[in-house]
Amino acid sequence: MPHKPLRNSERFLVRQVYTCLTTCDKTGYVQPQLAHHWQCNEEATQWRFYIRPQLQFHSNTPINAELISELFIKLQSLPEYQQELSHVLKVTASHQSVTFELNTPDLGFAALLSDLRYSIQPPAQLHKGSKITVDGCGPFQVIEQSDKRLRLQAFDHYFSHRSLTDTVTIWQFAHTPSERIQFGRSELNDPGNIQPPPKQLLETVGTEENSTQSRIENGCVFLLFNMNSGEKPLNSIQRKYLSKVLSPELVLAQDGLSELLLASQPAYSLLPSWTNIQPLQGEGADLPCQIDIAAYDHTVILDCAKALSDKLNRMGIASKVNVYPFAKFHERAALGELEESIIIASLNVDDNLPISVFRWFYSNTILHSGLSSEAKNWLHQQLNLIRERSEVKDYLEQLESIGTTMQYENWLVPLIHHRQTLRWQGVLQGVSMTDWAWPDLKNVWSDEE
């Protein structure tokens, strides 16, 4: 579901199953999706979005302005949206338009609504424990979901160009590669037909194949000093010292690293395109006798946590890694229950890069669980100034300044940038890698008969 904490692969799949009012690219250019047009007043405090006619969910339920208005009103009540939408005073609907009244200017509001967290879904899906079948409005609809595979089928009533392939089957494996993808025609992929795991046609990582795309991801795995841990969090001198000791080089020099981590590169900034920040050599510091680390159940995250914990143990400091399931990790962070001195997590961005990074700074539960009240207040003040005064195309330059300050203050330490690799067999055409290291499913096709 779009409103839940999501792993990278889940974020990609949300984009396949759901659609937003708008879309935004990595340069900040905003284009229509379910809204065909929008306008705002001179002060950028009133935004009106005009909804395309005859839209519908995969269940054939109509999508109209009243439903979209109801959805955003309910999103405002969710804890993880309250801060981000605190400037929204009122949401109203009339015929085929939805109007947002704001109490402060937001020059990038149309771009904000491109974020997958604002995907259009039935308001009933927001309820906790909802057993409703996933009902989206994107290019694919879910026709089967299990622990072993996910099956998607092209949605014929998608508002834009229909997918070139009829069905997509994604197989989940316990080993690397973790996902394999099979494309097919609908008449050959009856939902009742239980197929064996396919000969791989396309995979997100793995052995050498006919064609390959590879690049360094936007985003990183990072170390966050928890300034809300226990009775006495690490002070600025201790954080400065550990920022140099617990380095990216230390992580990548560890023996027995996973294949994913071995292919990564050290990170000295939150995004690889930002200026590299090398921490100054801190003077020795008196450290506590115990420094524990919080991490969630992902191979690369656990590799990083283990490398740092082992280093602390070699320094004579007791350290253990507490591993939480992904959902529990976010739940404990939201409740302020992560008590470890260090948190290892990741910054994952989507196809709307400037908005995705902005939202991470503004609302990420893990990030905010480790920041002091003073740091959070400063951060929100800076972000509010950006959205009141700046166009989205200028966001990244100003967000880089914020990220640099956070590194200089030793609130966090970037550790590694993943190398994303996509391999496929030559029978497939039109394959291009998305920001999540998955293929653009709707544009993949085959020239085989």
What are the extents of the domains in the chain?
8-126, 140-215+420-446, 218-417
Confidence of residue 42 (pLDDT cuts 50, 70, 90): very high
Helices 353-363 and 373-389 cross at an angle (nearest 10°) of: 150
Per-residue confidence (pLDDT) for residue 198, from 0 to 100: 41
Percent of the chain's residues with pLDDT above 70 = 85
**Fold equal for 8-126 and 218-417:** no
Residue 128 makes CB contacts below 8 A (sequence gap 6+) with none
In contact, 155 and 141? CB cutoff 8 Å: yes
> How many other C-beta atoms are found inside a 10 Å radius of the C-beta of residue 78?
12
In contact, 125 and 142? CB cutoff 8 Å: no
In contact, 230 and 373? CB cutoff 8 Å: no
Per-residue confidence (pLDDT) for residue 58, from 0 to 100: 92
* Residue 385 Cα distances to 46, 145, 190, 365, 382, angstroms: 18, 43, 53, 21, 5
- Give strand pairing partners of 150: 145, 170
Per-residue confidence (pLDDT) for residue 310, from 0 to 100: 93
Per-residue confidence (pLDDT) for residue 177, from 0 to 100: 46
The answer, yes or no, to whether residue 155 has pLDDT greater than 50, is: yes
> How many other C-beta atoms are found inside a 10 Å radius of the C-beta of residue 42?
7
The per-residue pLDDT for range 403-435, each reduced to its tens digit, is 999 999 999 999 999 887 766 666 566 666 667
Confidence of residue 324 (pLDDT cuts 50, 70, 90): very high
Query: Is the domain defined by 218-417 classed in CATH 3.40.50.150?
Result: no
Per-residue confidence (pLDDT) for residue 195, from 0 to 100: 46
Average pLDDT over residues 246-265: 82
Residue 168 makes CB contacts below 8 A (sequence gap 6+) with 140, 151, 152, 181, 182, 183, 184, 441
> How many other C-beta atoms are found inside a 10 Å radius of the C-beta of residue 251?
26
Percent of the chain's residues with pLDDT above 90 = 53
In contact, 56 and 62? CB cutoff 8 Å: yes
Per-residue confidence (pLDDT) for residue 197, from 0 to 100: 44
The per-residue pLDDT for range 333-359, each reduced to its tens digit, is 999 999 999 999 999 888 899 999 999
Confidence of residue 206 (pLDDT cuts 50, 70, 90): very low
Question: DSSP characters for 109-173?
Answer: HHHHTTSGGG----GGGGSTT--PPP---SSEEEEEE-SSEEEEEE-TT-SSPPPSSSEEEEEE-
The answer, yes or no, to whether residue 169 has pLDDT greater than 90, is: no
Per-residue confidence (pLDDT) for residue 282, from 0 to 100: 62
> How many other C-beta atoms are found inside a 10 Å radius of the C-beta of residue 201?
18
Tokens 């197989």 sit on residue: 171
Phi-psi category of 5—alpha, beta or left, where left has phi over 0 and alpha has psi -120 to 50?
Answer: beta
| Calpha distance 316→287 (Å, rounded) | 10
Per-residue confidence (pLDDT) for residue 187, from 0 to 100: 44
Q: Averaging pLDDT over each range in 4-13, 56-65, 277-286, 430-439, which range is the top one?
A: 56-65
Instruction: Give the CA radius of gyration of the chain.
Output: 23
Per-residue confidence (pLDDT) for residue 217, from 0 to 100: 84
Per-residue confidence (pLDDT) for residue 40, from 0 to 100: 96
Confidence of residue 74 (pLDDT cuts 50, 70, 90): very high
CATH number of 8-126: 3.90.76.10
SS3 for 107?
coil
Per-residue confidence (pLDDT) for residue 391, from 0 to 100: 95
| Calpha distance 13→438 (Å, rounded) | 9
Confidence of residue 443 (pLDDT cuts 50, 70, 90): confident
Average pLDDT of every residue of the chain: 84
Confidence of residue 127 (pLDDT cuts 50, 70, 90): confident
What letter represents residue 275's amino acid? T
Confidence of residue 167 (pLDDT cuts 50, 70, 90): confident
- Buried b / exposed e across 337-347, counting CB within 10 Å, b at 16+? ebebbbbbbbb
Per-residue confidence (pLDDT) for residue 72, from 0 to 100: 95
The per-residue pLDDT for range 365-383, each reduced to its tens digit, is 999 999 999 999 999 999 9
The answer, yes or no, to whether residue 137 has pLDDT greater than 50, is: yes
* Residue 217 Cα distances to 8, 13, 56, 213, 348, angstroms: 11, 18, 34, 12, 9
Confidence of residue 102 (pLDDT cuts 50, 70, 90): very high
What letter represents residue 15's amino acid? R
- Give strand pairing partners of 140: 154
SS3 for 392?
helix
| pTM of this structure | 0.86
Q: Which of 86-90, 131-135, 160-164, 188-192 has the lowest mean pLDDT?
A: 188-192
| Calpha distance 329→336 (Å, rounded) | 11
Average pLDDT over residues 82-101: 93
What letter represents residue 94's amino acid? S
Q: Is the peptide bond before 177 cis (omega within 30 degrees of 0)?
A: yes
Residue 9 makes CB contacts below 8 A (sequence gap 6+) with 179, 204, 436, 438
Q: Which long-range contacts (CB under 8 A, 24 or more apart) does 305-309 make?
A: 305/344, 306/254, 307/250, 307/251, 307/254, 308/223, 308/246, 308/250, 308/251, 308/342, 308/344
- Give strand pairing partners of 285: none
- Buried b / exposed e across 272-305, counting CB within 10 Å, b at 16+? bebeebebeebeeeebeeebbbbbbebebbbbbb
